[in-house]
Amino acid sequence: MKELNELKGVGPKTLNLLNKLGIDDNIDLVTYYPFRYEVLKRSDIYQLNQDDKIIIDGVVENIPSLFRFKNKKDVMNFHFNTGEILVKVTIYNRGFLKSKLNPGTNLTIIGKYDKLHNTIIANDLRFELLGEEIKIEPIYHSTYGLSSKQIGAYINQLLDEELVVKSYVPDYLIDKYKFISKEESIKIIHRPTEQNKLKQAINHLKYEELFMFMLKMNNLKENKNNKIGLKRNISFDKVTEFIKELSFKLTKDQEISVKEIYDDLISSKRMNRLLQGDVGSGKTVVSMIAMYLNYLSGYQSALMVPTEILANQHFINALELFKSYDLKIELLKGKMKVTEKKQIYEGLENGEIDIIIGTHALIQEEVKYYNLGLVITDEQHRFGVNQRSNLKNKGITPDVLYMSATPIPRTYALTLYGDMDISNIKTMPEGRKEVITYLKHNDEIKDVLNLMYQELKNNHQVYVIAPLIEESDKIDLENVYELENKMKKAFGKLYSIGVLHGKMTNQEKGSIMNDFRNNKIQILISTTVIEVGVDVENATVMVIFDSYRFGLSALHQLRGRVGRSHLQSYCVLISNQDAERLKVLTKTNDGFKVSEEDFRLRGSGDLFGVRQSGEMAFKMADIKQDFKMLLKAKEDSLEFIKSHNYHEPHYKFIKDRIETTNNLD
């Protein structure tokens, strides 16, 4: 096959644009698949209603009239004979085509039919007759300066040559599922002639992606099981004693999770566990118990979190939890005095520090550990693969615990986190009341203010969430400062109001959060920077403006900032649209059910961007729509990796691909 720079029409500028789309060589180009198809079928003009889409062919009847405007825009009109009817065609900003539109010119026109005025408002002109055939036209994601048609033309140049590509699906599975060859599949994907063949081609390419993904997951799990972990000899009685000293009782799910982690830590295999639980379910205390177990074994623990606010909070909680124990706990953040950092670096390297809590500062080059035995990442989906790997590699073979408050439906989690063991915490701590959630229209703001006032009178606190920091000309949304003014008008004389958003410095954020935590601020107006982990027990109301702009899981996370104590708490979703979707939150507080519904409505993008391994962003497959195929690929890949086939020279290229691209561990 030709190289990219050998293709007709591809110069240095186009090459850069192709690179921008992730197309670096000819294989990238032929596997740059359409994201949708335009099915072109001649419309029956007599069956169309006002403003229906129209696709029709015929001939130009007269020389077009062209009107140009001062702003370099133009409009062109001409009459068009479909063979059945004469219609007027109007098209904007295509004046450069006038010289080609001579009377008698064959055209296919795509546009909108204004039946009332017998006019087609055209958006595309094709200089060919469509006829009675159905044409399936691929549409590619493009970029400024490089159109879908151009990309298709470059691909077709390669398809005109002999196409040699390997399928990563083993031969026996290609036979089993009667897949057409990969070469033929690729040709059909780009040059479809009939929908049935197109479906067969798509199935092969989807299955190949899912098979390779599950092969990677299973390979990771095999490697994990073969990794020798740290040796620990701890009696479970020590764990029981520690738990008895807590000022609260663990839930059944917390107890089970602690036991699963304990079993991992004392086993000879390296722990690689995901601890997922609903907001407020008590994952943090489970992680603290894990760090205590690690301390009893003489090893250091590192807890990495995505924000300084959360790092500060975990640090405060750890100091409180371990105040009766002889543990040295420190906090490491990006913005600290050089002398403070130096002391912490020395303490970590000489083993004086038992537990270090911090942000990505924990993985900086200067940070060296004496004997790191346990790595915990909280809200692990906020960190990239490389960040997590860097922290794991700071120890020899540290055990690893990931925590996430964005619960993923169990069936999907077992598949997508195939290389991890999973602990789930569903039960909530005793005494917690379910947050009551209301859905309100903007016109009902008085009801919302009344609810806020009642809770403020009871000496409780309120969060108010705005999706924007500054005004936008394009989107009419409430923003932080507008809300601050409105809240000051309503409550400014009685209560203190604070503002928190992502553009503030870490020091400013920390100061505001401390004031809110200490009830010096009663109403905190914020963007979603408070989404994760912030824990203020006295806050009982969460008001979210323009809530339609958030996914259900994100709204559930925000709701989880209230209801952190025995106090009855409330969440108010304010929205003038998308009411049916938002109603889900008024019916359940179960994060697993919310994530199921979010997954059903929005697909895998938001939920599973968490785990992208470099190839999780599938070109063809969709986790939600193709889940049955994924399960089949999981089963087939496990069978393949455990069979002699995996080590056969014939399949070496599959094995090499898996082992060279698997950079998660």
**Alpha-carbon distance 402 to 386, whole Å?**
14
665 has a pLDDT exceeding 60: no
* pLDDT per residue as tens digits for the range 529-555: 564 556 788 999 999 999 988 888 888
Q: What is the pLDDT of residue 183?
A: 94
Q: How many residues does the chain have?
A: 665
Please state the pTM of the whole predicted model: 0.61
Looking up tokens 């400024």, which residue turns up?
A: 144
**Alpha-carbon distance 30 to 187, whole Å?**
9
Taking a C-beta distance cutoff of 8 angstroms, is the pair 597, 584 a contact? yes
Beta-bridge mates of residue 440: 574
DSSP strand E in 176-231: where? none
257 has a pLDDT exceeding 90: yes
142 has a pLDDT exceeding 70: yes
Q: Give the tokens for residue 218.
A: 């299973």
Residues 6+ apart with CB under 8 A from 650: none
Looking up tokens 């044409």, which residue turns up?
A: 135
Write down the CATH number for the domain with range 436-588. 3.40.50.300
Taking a C-beta distance cutoff of 8 angstroms, is the pair 385, 359 a contact? no
The reply to whether 42-133 and 236-267+282-404 are identical in fold is no
Taking a C-beta distance cutoff of 8 angstroms, is the pair 293, 261 a contact? yes
Angle CA(121)–CA(126)–CA(130) in degrees, nearest 5? 100
DSSP 92-132: ES-GGGGGG--TT-EEEEEEEEEGGGTEEEEEEEESS--TT
Q: Which of 286-290, 375-379, 404-408, 607-611 has the lowest mean pLDDT?
A: 607-611
* pLDDT per residue as tens digits for the range 147-159: 999 999 999 999 9
Give the pLDDT mean for 15-29: 91
4 has a pLDDT exceeding 60: yes
Q: Which helix (H) or strand (E) holds 450?
A: helix 445-457
**Backbone φ, ψ for residue 59 (5° rounding):** -130, 150
Q: Which of 73-77, 91-95, 111-115, 612-616 has the lowest mean pLDDT?
A: 612-616
**Backbone φ, ψ for residue 379 (5° rounding):** 50, 55
Rg, C-alpha atoms of the chain: 30
* pLDDT per residue as tens digits for the range 232-242: 888 999 999 99
Percentage of the chain exceeding pLDDT 90: 51
Torsion angle of the four alpha carbons 327, 328, 334, 335, in this order, in degrees rounded to the nearest 10: 120
Residues 6+ apart with CB under 8 A from 380: 274, 388, 402, 403, 404, 610
Taking a C-beta distance cutoff of 8 angstroms, is the pair 345, 367 a contact? yes
509 or 89, which is more confident: 89
Q: Could you say which DSSP state residue 351 is in?
A: T
Q: Of 301, 366, 328, 358, whose CA–CA distance to 506 is shortest?
A: 358
**Alpha-carbon distance 453 to 456, whole Å?**
5
Taking a C-beta distance cutoff of 8 angstroms, is the pair 373, 297 a contact? yes
Q: Which of 3-7, 337-341, 379-383, 640-644 has the lowest mean pLDDT?
A: 379-383
Query: What rounded mean pLDDT belongs to the chain?
Result: 86
390 has a pLDDT exceeding 60: no
Q: Which CATH class is domain 236-267+282-404?
A: alpha beta
Taking a C-beta distance cutoff of 8 angstroms, is the pair 558, 544 a contact? yes
Which residue type is seen at 510?
G
Residues 6+ apart with CB under 8 A from 175: none
Q: What is the pLDDT of residue 382?
A: 42
385 has a pLDDT exceeding 50: no
Give the pLDDT mean for 466-482: 62
**Alpha-carbon distance 655 to 28, whole Å?**
20
Residues 6+ apart with CB under 8 A from 435: 542, 559, 562, 563, 569, 570, 571, 589
Q: Could you say which DSSP state residue 383 is in?
A: S
Q: Give the tokens for residue 213.
A: 């993904």
Exposed, middle or buried, 453 (CB in 10 Å: 0-12/13-18/19+)?
middle
* pLDDT per residue as tens digits for the range 27-86: 999 999 998 998 888 999 999 999 999 999 999 999 999 999 988 899 999 999 999 999
Q: Could you say which DSSP state residue 538 is in?
A: T
Taking a C-beta distance cutoff of 8 angstroms, is the pair 188, 197 a contact? yes
For 42-133, CATH number out of 2.40.50.140, 3.30.70.600, 3.40.50.150, 2.40.160.20 equals 2.40.50.140
Residues 6+ apart with CB under 8 A from 404: 274, 275, 276, 379, 380, 381, 610
Question: Domain map of the chain by residue range?
Answer: 42-133, 236-267+282-404, 436-588
Exposed, middle or buried, 474 (CB in 10 Å: 0-12/13-18/19+)?
exposed
Q: Of 503, 502, 504, 606, whose CA–CA distance to 556 is shortest?
A: 606
Percentage of the chain exceeding pLDDT 70: 88
Q: Could you say which DSSP state residue 615 is in?
A: S
**Alpha-carbon distance 52 to 49, whole Å?**
6
Angle CA(370)–CA(375)–CA(381) in degrees, nearest 5? 145
Taking a C-beta distance cutoff of 8 angstroms, is the pair 607, 599 a contact? yes
Looking up tokens 């701590």, which residue turns up?
A: 429
**Backbone φ, ψ for residue 225 (5° rounding):** -65, -25
* pLDDT per residue as tens digits for the range 210-234: 999 888 887 777 666 666 778 888 8
Q: Of 325, 273, 316, whose CA–CA distance to 296 is shortest?
A: 325
Which residue type is seen at 54?
I
First to last CA, the chain: 35
* pLDDT per residue as tens digits for the range 568-600: 999 999 998 888 889 999 999 888 788 778 766
603 has a pLDDT exceeding 80: no
**Backbone φ, ψ for residue 596 (5° rounding):** -60, -45
Q: What is the pLDDT of residue 614?
A: 36
Residues 6+ apart with CB under 8 A from 546: 466, 467, 477, 478, 574, 575
pLDDT-derived band at 611 (thresholds 50, 70, 90) equals: very low
